[in-house]
Amino acid sequence: MLFNSLAYAVFLPVVLLIYYSLAHRAQNVFLLAASYVFYGWWDWRFLILVWISTLLDFGCSLGIESTRSPRLRRAFVLTAVTGNLCMIGAFKYFNFFADSLAALAAAAGFHIDAITLRVALPVGISFYTFQTMSYTIDVYRGRIRAVRNPVDFALYVTFFPQLVAGPIERASTLIPQIQSRRIVRHEQLASGMFLILLGLFKKMVIADNAAPLVERVFSDPAACSAGQLLGGLYAFSAQIYCDFSGYSDIARGSAHLLGFELTENFQQPYLARNITDFWRRWHVTLSSWLRDYLYIPLGGNRHGTLMTYRNLMLTMLLGGLWHGANWTFVIWGGLHGAYLAVHKLACSNRPRVPQAALRSLGPALKTAAMTLLTFHLVAFTWIFFRSPDWATAFAYCDGLLSLRGTWNIGAGPALAMMALLALDLPQRLTGDHLALFHTRTTRHGRLWLAAGLLMGLIYLGVTRSASFIYFQF
């Protein structure tokens, strides 16, 4: 069920009406049933995978707490992690590795018939498996206690606002909210409705209007001028950000209406001052997941400079592969790994930079210059993220760097970036993700803002229910 569909516009009010009339324990049972309906709306058969993941991690976490034997505890956590990774591997990566092996053999002069498993990718499998894995690992590390109530744990896995595309919630933040009685305050109702409206505006007005331009440019980059390619890159930068952060806003808004608080998944990433800052602001819950469950276990920065760079690169390469079973995603992750390594190296050598030169630049101008540089470095990597194959990506890079044709990027990309800046700049300046809504804005100002967003949806919104980009991951 899509957030931007008529089905969800009916589903959410019905859920709220029943939910508000129930006691706490009954609310959890009802939310679990509603979450299964929400997910099964695409294909009820995918629910089987959700149930397998739920039973696997629920049982293994109880097994971890039931024994003091280090060997058995490791066996339980390895069973849970291996089981979840096998599910992702079978449905998401089996064809990728089979085709890659066949291509490698062909390059070496051998012929191998690749065995393929042509099945539909279950929606959100990468998100809910990462969420359940983090739970079992945290139980193993002694950071949280295993949940004894199967309904509570199943709801943690399938809570419908964030089930399909995150945020990837930690058990330590979401499970206590599930286990405790929830009181929906007036402020939560108001902020929830505002977040849903804001998310729909981002998705339907900015992202979906940018999509045709992006498709046109990426479908045949060789036929485009350098200006058109740059405009297409700006348009996709706006599209993917508004598409994904719009989903997160709607998820958080829906959760607010139910009395839950979900993690803020985006914190104005295109206003980041360096690449490390960007990854603190982009897809926050995935970034922290990769840090805590991959980068730090690999050794983090504890074993010298070279090992730190290795760990950064491995983490980002695997983060790229998490996004999709294609070598273009691996390149995207590798570029970000290289950026992070170079930034870390630059920070360690910062005393060599003449301080007088930095002071003469001025703090405001220096911040603006670093922000623009960071944005364009990130935008360049989106070429590989969006391109369906290497040939398209390299043709795009070649056309962009050739400086051919005119440099007119067009009005569409410029308007998309201006709309983005208008939404994000107040949040960045105030440090408040609801700066447009909170008490700094008068009551009449809120009404005018909500009316403006609503009018934008009515007159500029794309009415077809376009899927969210991150559903494919």
Please report the sign of the dihedral spanned by the C-alpha atoms of residue 25, residue 30, residue 36, residue 38: negative
Joined tokens for residue 174? 């979401």
Q: Alpha-carbon distance 237 to 419, whole Å? A: 13
Instruction: List the catalytic residue out of 323, 336, 343, 433.
Output: 323
CA proximity to 298, closest of 311, 312, 309: 311
Q: How far is CA 223 from the centre of its chain?
A: 32
Per the CB < 8 A criterion, the answer to whether 328 and 393 are in contact is yes
Q: Alpha-carbon distance 353 to 346, whole Å? A: 9
Per the CB < 8 A criterion, the answer to whether 374 and 278 are in contact is yes
Q: Alpha-carbon distance 126 to 164, whole Å? A: 9
Joined tokens for residue 100? 């890659």
Helical segments of 220-362, H only: 226-257, 275-281, 284-290, 296-298, 305-323, 327-348, 355-361
Q: Alpha-carbon distance 460 to 454, whole Å? A: 10
Per the CB < 8 A criterion, the answer to whether 35 and 159 are in contact is yes
Q: Alpha-carbon distance 116 to 52, whole Å? A: 23
Q: Is 151 exposed, middle or buried (0-12, 13-18, 19+ CB in 10 A)?
A: middle
Q: Alpha-carbon distance 473 to 469, whole Å? A: 8
Q: Alpha-carbon distance 244 to 472, whole Å? A: 12
Q: Alpha-carbon distance 383 to 368, whole Å? A: 23
Task: List Cβ neighbours of 47 (8 Å cut-off, separation of 6 or more).
Answer: 36, 39, 40
Helical segments of 225-270, H only: 226-257
Tracing tokens 């505890």 back to the chain, one arrives at 73
Percent helix, strand, coil in the chain, to 5, is: 75, 0, 25
Task: List Cβ neighbours of 89 (8 Å cut-off, separation of 6 or more).
Answer: none
Instruction: Clarify whether 323 is annotated catalytic.
Output: yes
Q: Return the active site residues.
A: 323
